[in-house]
Amino acid sequence: MLPFVLGNICRAFSLSFESFQVLEFFHFACTSEDVNNLSHGLMLQEALSSVILPAMDDLITSISLMAKEFAYVPMLSRTHGQPASPTTLGKEMAIFAVRLSEERRYLSETKIKGKFAGAVGNYNAHISAYPNIDWPHVAEEFVTSLGLTFNPTSLRDIWSYISLGYFKQITKAGEIGSSTMPHKVNPIDFDNSEGNLGKANAELISQHEVSRFSNAGHSLLAYKSAIQGIRKLQINEARLKEDLDQTWEVLAEPIQTVMRRYGVPEPYEKLKELTRGRAVNEESIREFIKGLDLPAEAKSQLLKLTPHTYVGAAAALALAVDEALHL
Phi, psi dihedral angles at 130 (to 5 degrees)? -135, 75
CA 153 to chain centre: 6
The one catalytic residue among 39, 178, 206, 300:
178
165 Rama class: left (phi>0) / alpha (psi -120 to 50) / beta: left
Scored b (16 or more CB within 10 A) or e, 71-100 reads eeeeeeeeeeeeeeeeebbbeebbeebeeb
Residue 80 bears catalytic tag: yes
3-state secondary structure of 199: helix
Residues 6+ apart with CB under 8 A from 193: 221, 222, 223, 225, 226, 229
Q: How many residues does the chain have?
A: 327
The one catalytic residue among 14, 16, 32, 80:
80
3-state secondary structure of 184: coil
The DSSP code for 17 is G
DSSP string for residues in 267-282: HHHHHHHHHTTS---H
Kindly list the catalytic residues.
Answer: 80, 178
